[in-house]
């Protein structure tokens, strides 16, 4: 199976490798300092510190190159990053071999870091490159051990017992190299197999997610077409009913008026439901929105005025509190008024007659914050995480108020998300609810990955 890594995921893993190398540099410096100050080993400490410095310099160069690739949108970046990883691991093996040569060779327990790099290679690269790196690592370690044993390279001993065993028993050296080689390839085989399985699952999940997104797009387009067509028919029915309901043509007797009023009210509710559903679907279908500076105070007043009569009909005390330092906010047209109006309408609807609803707005040029507080029925604690889901209605409200659609807060959440803001709900049964919307002034254009 050919593995095509995800760009973001690959970048994260390579930067992770660079971060690990800084820990390795710190470990070398610490171990060398301890050996020099406390262990009294006869080693060339200047060379060891120099290796740590070269490893730091190379890691800095790797990081700069990676950041350069990250800024460039180049279709060949995958190949360049893969080459970068190959170079990193190859030089790590070389630095590790040099480090071991000047600090005990085969006697040094840090030979385990060869296998550590082989595991990293199996995580980041394909099987082919993993086995190539494993072969290079085994070759470098074996060459170091054999050349030191034959006296071609000097041996800096840190353990006289292992040194004596190697010098007097070549079979021990051969066995150690054989075990190291078998262990290296076995570890690589296991980790590569596991990594391959994980990558296969990852690819399947990505493919399934793409299919789901495509189906969701089709669903949204279908809902948009259907609701748009239904909206036209509902508007026509509502207009005709309004003519009869308001006696524009002729008076209607009391008995028929009652049925017409019910039909008119139901049509009105259905029209609101279709509007919310259509607005929510459009919000999800469109990636780009035209933003323009809106007058916050005028928008707040408009939302308040549109809900005043509703509040008065329930004898609800609707109060406001403004603290506006930056009066203009870059918003999607009409969206912020939709958010405010929807939150107010919900607060009034779910507050018993004679209750209180308070709107607080604050703007400082960095954030625009809207808080709507009511003394309503409240929301059960277990329902709060789901109130922004489509068609969800709190369990204690379904039997009390039956004409809700469960789409209002979904629409609010969608608008807030489009403005890269947050919405937080707090509520207690019998005490009321509080919704806080925080919107940043500095909107960054979102890009679909």
pLDDT digits (tens, 9 = 90+) for 211-247: 777 776 676 666 666 766 677 777 777 777 777 777 7
CA distance 180 to 143: 13
Residues composing the chain: 449
* Confidence category of residue 333, pLDDT binned at 50, 70, 90: low
Which residues, in sequence order, are CB contacts of 366 under 8 Å at separation 6+? Answer: 440, 441, 442
Q: Are 320 and 356 in contact (CB under 8 A)?
A: no
Provide the H-helix boundaries in 246-322.
254-285, 296-313
* Confidence category of residue 260, pLDDT binned at 50, 70, 90: confident
CA distance 374 to 433: 6
Residue 290 has pLDDT above 70, yes or no: no
pLDDT of residue 444: 54
- Flag the least confident range among 43-52, 104-113, 160-169, 331-340: 160-169
Which burial class, exposed, middle or buried, applies to 391 when counting CB atoms under 10 A from its CB (0-12, 13-18, 19+)? exposed
Question: What's the chain's Rg over C-alpha atoms?
Answer: 35
pLDDT of residue 343: 92
How many Cβ atoms from other residues are within 10 Å of residue 144's Cβ?
20
- Summarize the chain as % helix, strand, coil (round to 5): 65, 10, 25
**For 70-94, how does the pLDDT look when each residue is reduced to its tens digit (9 = 90+)?**
676 555 566 677 777 888 888 889 9
- Roughly how many angstroms between the first and final C-alpha of the chain, as a whole number? 25
Mean pLDDT of 405-413: 78
Residue 2 has pLDDT above 50, yes or no: no
What is the SS3 assignment for 57?
A: helix
Residue 45 has pLDDT above 90, yes or no: no
Q: How far is CA 133 from CA 85, 176, 232, 431, in A?
A: 11, 20, 67, 66
Nearest to 192 by CA among 243, 120, 90: 120
pLDDT > 70 in the chain, percent: 82
Q: Are 85 and 21 in contact (CB under 8 A)?
A: no
Angle between helices 335-349 and 296-313 (to 10 degrees): 20
- Flag the least confident range among 45-49, 72-76, 437-441: 72-76
How many Cβ atoms from other residues are within 10 Å of residue 111's Cβ?
20
CA distance 271 to 279: 12
For residue 365 the two structure tokens come to: 């040029």
- Dihedral angle sign, alpha carbons of residues 266, 272, 278, 284: negative
Report the relative pairing of strands 291-295 and 328-332 from DSSP bridges.
Answer: antiparallel
Mean pLDDT of 386-413: 74
CA distance 75 to 401: 56
């Amino acid at each position: 199976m050919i593995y095509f890594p995800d760009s973001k995921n690959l970048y994260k893993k390579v930067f992770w490798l660079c971060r690990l190398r800084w820990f390795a540099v710190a470990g070398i410096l610490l171990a060398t300092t301890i050996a020099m100050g406390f262990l009294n080993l006869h080693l060339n400490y200047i060379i060891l510190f120099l290796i740590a410095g070269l490893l730091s310099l190379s890691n800095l160069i790797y990081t700069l190159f990676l950041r350069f690739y990250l800024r460039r949108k180049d279709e060949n970046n995958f190949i360049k990053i893969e080459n970068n990883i190959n170079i990193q691991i190859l030089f790590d093996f070389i630095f590790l071999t040099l480090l071991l040569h000047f600090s005990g060779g085969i006697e040094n327990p840090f030979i385990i870091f060869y296998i550590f790099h082989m595991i990293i290679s199996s995580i980041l690269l394909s099987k082919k490159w993993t086995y190539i790196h494993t072969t290079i690592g085994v070759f470098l370690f074996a060459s170091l051990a054999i050349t030191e044993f034959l006296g071609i390279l000097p041996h800096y001993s840190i353990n006289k017992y292992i040194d004596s065993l190697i010098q007097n028993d070549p079979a021990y050296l051969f066995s150690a190299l054989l075990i190291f080689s078998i262990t290296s390839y076995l570890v690589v085989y296991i980790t590569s197999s596991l990594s391959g399985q994980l990558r296969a699952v990852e690819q399947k999940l990505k493919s399934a997610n793409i299919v789901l997104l495509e189906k969701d797009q089709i669903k949204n387009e279908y809902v948009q077409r259907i609701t748009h067509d239904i909206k036209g028919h509902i508007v026509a029915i509502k207009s005709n009913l309004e003519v009869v309901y308001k006696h524009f043509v002729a008076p209607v007797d009391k008995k028929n008026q009652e049925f017409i009023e019910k039909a008119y009210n139901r049509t009105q509710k259905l029209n609101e439901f279709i509007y919310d559903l259509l607005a929510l679907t459009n919000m999800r279908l469109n990636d780009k929105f035209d933003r323009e500076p809106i007058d916050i105070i005028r928008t707040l007043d408009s939302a308040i005025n549109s809900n005043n009569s509703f509040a008065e009909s329930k004898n609800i005390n609707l109060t406001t509190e403004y603290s506006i330092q930056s009066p203009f906010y870059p918003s999607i047209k009409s969206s912020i008024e939709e958010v405010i109006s929807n939150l107010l309408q919900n607060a009034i609807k779910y507050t018993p007659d004679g209750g209180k609803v308070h709107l607080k707005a604050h703007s400082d040029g960095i954030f625009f914050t809207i808080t709507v507080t009511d003394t309503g029925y409240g929301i059960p604690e277990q329902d709060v995480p789901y109130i922004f889901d489509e068609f969800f209605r709190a369990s204690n409200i379904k039997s009390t108020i039956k004409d809700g659609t469960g789409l209002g807060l979904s629409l609010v959440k969608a608008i807030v998300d489009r403005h890269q803001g947050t919405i937080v709900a707090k509520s207690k049964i019998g005490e009321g609810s509080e919704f806080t919307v925080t919107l940043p002034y500095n909107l960054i254009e979102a890009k679909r990955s």
